[in-house]
Amino acid sequence: MLMGKEFDPFFAQIVRTLGPYLDDVLCIGGCANALYRFHDLASPMPWGYLGTKDVDVATPQHLTVKDGKSLAVLMSEAGLEEEQKGRGHQAVIKYKPKDGDLAAELEFLCPLSGAKGQREGSESPTVCVVQEGLHAQPLRYLEILFSRPWSVKIGKIPEFRELGGLQVHVPNPAAYVVQKILIRDQRRADLSKAKDCYYIYEISVVFRDALEQISSEFEALSPCLPAWKKRFQKEVSRLFESQDAEGPTLAVRTYQDAGRPRSGTELPPTPEMVYRSVNKLIDAMKTKPL
């Protein structure tokens, strides 16, 4: 299973529904981490995935209609219903299956910069209409994730062979890590911050043999202002500055709380393992002198 017997059918349904738009959108968040393991540059990962019930999809602020059908129409035909959670500035719009057995949710997100909200005069809109009938939550720095995305052949995953040659785009790992660090001070939930530390560690393990490619992606990040890269390097170095620092501590705690099984003779991650692995990744993501 990719995520679980309830989640996998929902994810397959989402991929089919997004079919005409797969070249325009990205799978981000926890699903991206699970998909990274099936990328051509990935190395074996000894531990299981963190559980999730959410599919997070990043979309441009303006999504062109493909094949004469909007994504809202395709989702309706697939049996997905829009649901608003919260009100006012706390409102979040998600899409859920009518089938109650599929316990999962889909949310669309778009870049905040230059976004036009539904409410007049709102400097930080909580909902954007990216296509007729399609709502997305705008987030800062999300545009970085669209820099040279990678793709995963979804049909090579045993659970999704029926999807054939479809490819799902994910952020390249350098863009993913940079965006995670830049939004840390905007995350309210401690659980999200802890998961991000584990996700970063996971990337450092999965792509331990692809650090040269990640270094190239970091150099090519666009848009990514020099000040953003400088802040990223300062914050990520602080977060993983020692085995006792916040990053390794939260990563190990997240793994333990998830109760992930070991594979073979592999030992569970320790703070020292996290510190050493992530710092190799950090060293690859440093601005090269001119």
What pLDDT is stored for residue 104 in this prediction?
79
When comparing pLDDT for 244 and 185, which is higher?
244
Distance between CA 201 and CA 279 in Å, rounded? 9
Instruction: List the domain boundaries for the chain.
Output: 1-171, 173-290
Q: Are 107 and 56 in contact (CB under 8 A)?
A: yes
What mean pLDDT comes out for the span 43-54? 79
Band (118; pLDDT cuts 50, 70, 90): very low
Q: Stretch 195-199: mean pLDDT, rounded?
A: 94
- The predicted-structure confidence for 72-117, as pLDDT tens digits, reads as follows 999 999 988 888 776 655 567 888 887 766 667 899 999 987 655 4
Select from 100, 94, 2 the least CA-distant residue to 52. 2
Amino acid sitting at position 7 = F
Higher confidence at residue 277 or residue 223?
277
Would you say 62 and 17 are in contact if contact means Cβ atoms under 8 Å apart? no
| CA distance linking residue 170 with residue 109, whole number of Å | 14
State if pTM tops 0.85. yes
